Amino acid sequence: MNFRKLILVALAATLSGPILAKGVPYDLDPMHTFPSFEADHMGMDLWRGKLNKSSGTMLLDKADGTGSVDLTVDLTSIDFGLDELHAWAVGPKFFDVEHFGSTATYKGKLSGFTAGGTPKVTGTLTLHGVTKPLDLKVNIFKCQPHPMTHRDWCGADAFAKFNREDFGLSEGKAWGFDMTVTLRIQVEANLHVDQP
């Protein structure tokens, strides 16, 4: 390899490394991050549930008002308050976690939260082996020192609606179920421990 090629390889390695990741890292707090949802039951009422296990990271650039979020949810932690419904949801008629895997992910880009503004989030949801665009409406977004740890601490309340049939989850449609799911995400994140 000649000297010019060596320089180009080194430059490419530098540009593809962590230097491109813009913002300060935060870890999502699994004890205070609970996606929840509402889904129709034959037009008679709404089923409500939550997902008890999630993890992820956030990058925030407060000066630019930009950032990103990467959230992974354990579908086997779905909780309706009814064991029989849980078994059905993770089984072959719905999430089919044995075939499609036990996680769903959301990856999004944040923008527009300078000077206390509420950010916009544009991103994608991957569920049941399908990835589709899904933007979040953010009702609350706030960062401040944590009262106990005194480290930077951020929280948000986000909202979205999607058609579950788009993700191959059409069970119940023939019986008159509305395919619309309302998703709500309450999330808190702590400044990563390696940050000052």
Contact present, 189 and 27 (Cβ < 8 Å) = yes
Can you give the residue ranges of every domain in the chain?
22-191
Q: pTM for this structure?
A: 0.85
Q: Where are the alpha helices (DSSP H) in 60-165?
A: 83-90, 97-100
Cα 157 to Cα 183: distance, rounded to the nearest angstrom: 11
Query: How does residue 117 score in pLDDT terms, banded at 50, 70 and 90?
Result: confident
What is the average pLDDT across 8-14?
40
Q: Say what the pLDDT of residue 19 is.
A: 39
- Distance between terminal CA atoms of the chain? 41
Give percent above pLDDT 70 in the chain. Answer: 88
Amino acid at site 49: G
Nearest residue to 125 via CA among 77, 75, 79, 83: 75
Domain 22-191 indexed as CATH 2.40.128.110 = yes
Cα 128 to Cα 102: distance, rounded to the nearest angstrom: 9
